[in-house]
Homo-oligomer: A and B are copies of this chain.
Amino acid sequence: MYRSHSCGELRESHINNEVTLAGWVQKTRDKGFVVWVDLRDRYGITQLIFDEERSSKELLEQARNLGREFVLQVKGKVIERTSKNSNIPTGDIEVLVQELNLLNPSKTPPFTIEDQTDGGEDLRMKYRYLDIRRNPVKENLIFRSKVTMEVRNYLSKEGFIEIETPYLIKSTPEGARDFVVPSRMNQGQFYALPQSPQTFKQLLMVGGMDKYFQIVKCFRDEDLRADRQPEFTQIDCEMAFVGQEDILNAFEGLTRHLLKEIKGVETVAFPRMTFDEAMAKYGNDKPDIRFGMEFGELNAVAQHKDFKVFNAADLVVGIAVPGVASYSRKELDALVDWVRRPQVGAKGMVYVKCNEDGTFKSSVDKFYGQLDLANWAKATAAKPGDLICVLSGDTDQTRTQLSALRMEMAERLGLRKKDVFAPLWVVDFPLLELDEETGRYHAMHHPFTSPKPGQMELLETDPGKVKANAYDLVLNGNEIGGGSIRIHDKDIQSTMFKHLGFSPEEAKAQFGFLMDAFQYGAPPHGGIAFGLDRLVSILGGQETIRDFIAFPKNNSGRDVMIDAPSPIDEDQLKELNLKLDIQS
């Protein structure tokens, strides 16, 4: 045993105890006749004291020569501090060191191991093992561990069985973003890493395992956006003999449990909203409902006047931004510029100041009188002091733009409070999505999602209109989970593949095993998958998933600490029957 206590453990009640501690030197303070050393481990910091009166000359000298991050073992006596520090749990005591054992020295770390560090992200990633010593990172990893334990214990108590599905699976052309793994023993053949255990969990349902879950790594070789990782973790779940209502209830239970146990937040029944409603009200299929600013559609009250821009638009829609009617001309111009940025893409913005005296002042006073504007205020639920911001144009684009503005204003006004949690279900997603480039429909969720009852016929006539038994769980403007009721009938699955552009041969080659399985008594089933990285970062009140991953990769998919990926030996390639074919 290197220690009798941790560095976070000693209290007044330990005074006069002989203790052994081990940890890292956080800092030293040398006052000449006395040297203090803050010793740190995972559990906290304990102050060590060496002085001329009570410590040997050699010991004091040893203490003086300690550098930051040196690893020590010390033996000593717990004594009362003369000046206590109420900021840390061990602040009442210090340890008068009698013996110091230097376990390992340290070079000066490349950045300070403090809550606020001077190291930039690149440096911290290269020395991630030092970054993890910092409280915020350490606490995030412990937090993640706690969340996963809660998930596992809750689901286990509910009768779910955790079952490991394989990582070396089959590549599918649909999965253009599969990572593949050449097989040495099967010449010219490849495994793929799973983008999700989707088909396996469905096969487990066919196998009668009726309540499955797994916390599992998934892989996607895609161009990484700011906050994506090529490997990510899902809480993957599936149930048999259930309808959508059963799944929503089961996983609302899980989410409510997490919010309560982890955050101490009690929630009532989660609101439910159809996809169409979410798009109309928030311009977004994952609305942040911690705040209002719901969309007010203004076609009825803003069109057919003399303002041509609105008359030509499919949609005129506004939000009432609370309390900013007082914006200066300069601020308003800046806001118009903001919506015109290419990232947002609006052509312009009309605004209405709702003055405290009940009058209105707008950027389109030429076309609209006070009565018109009062109708706009009514439609957007604007109150005196609010600023109504109005966009117009193509319906989908305008909604997306106004949603961006709504989020931006909420951010500016501090309405996205990280200690408030507002979950909701978005249901009735479209089954198919039109790929603008290819003109082909593809599955919005995945090809195993079942259409709403009675909508199979619509597939032939108006595929874009077909709604699916698909749902997302949204928390604070983030999709934290998504799932669907699956198809469990071979013929419906075949029809679906046909509509997605698979030839019968392709369908058989890729998913034959699943369609075979459906012939041997597949039960009705459905499920959901949560993005654990995202869930944990939202529960932790932070935005970046990298902060909750021990060894994340950067935006090029590189681990800069171990320097991966990297070239491999000719011999190794040869054994895999591969050759590089680099295009210069």
Contacts and interface: CB of A to CB of B under 8 A. Distances in A.
Contacts of A580: 188, 577-579
B569 A233 contact: no
Given A166-B231, A208-B138, A556-B186, A521 B106 contact: yes
B22 A170 contact: no
A282 to B, nearest CB: 32
A163 B173 CA distance: 33
A50 to B, nearest CB: 20
Interface string A549-577: 11101001111011111111100111011
5 contacts: A1-B243, A142-B161, A186-B565, A217-B217, A573-B581
Contact of A182 (B180, B246, B513): B180
Given A162-B145, A170-B563, A551-B200, A193 B180 contact: no
Given A109-B520, A183-B221, A578-B579, 8 more contacts: A22-B523, A127-B516, A132-B204, A164-B217, A168-B564, A176-B572, A188-B580, A577-B580
Contacts of A523: 22, 24, 71, 103-104
A190 B204 CA distance: 33
Contact of A128 (B149, B207, B519, B579): B207
B133 A567 contact: no
* Number of copies of this protein chain within its complex: 2
Nearest to A559: B166
Given A522-B71, A566-B189, A580-B577, A203 B22 contact: no
Secondary structure class of chain A's binding surface, majority of residues = loop
Contact of A2 (B40, B167, B171, B242): B242
A253 to B, nearest CB: 15
A149 B145 contact: no
Contacts of A521: 24, 69-71, 104-106
Nearest to A106: B521
Interface in A16-31: 22, 24
A152 interface: yes
Nearest to A549: B164
Contacts of A230: 168
A72 to B, nearest CB: 9
Contacts of A181: 179-181, 193, 565
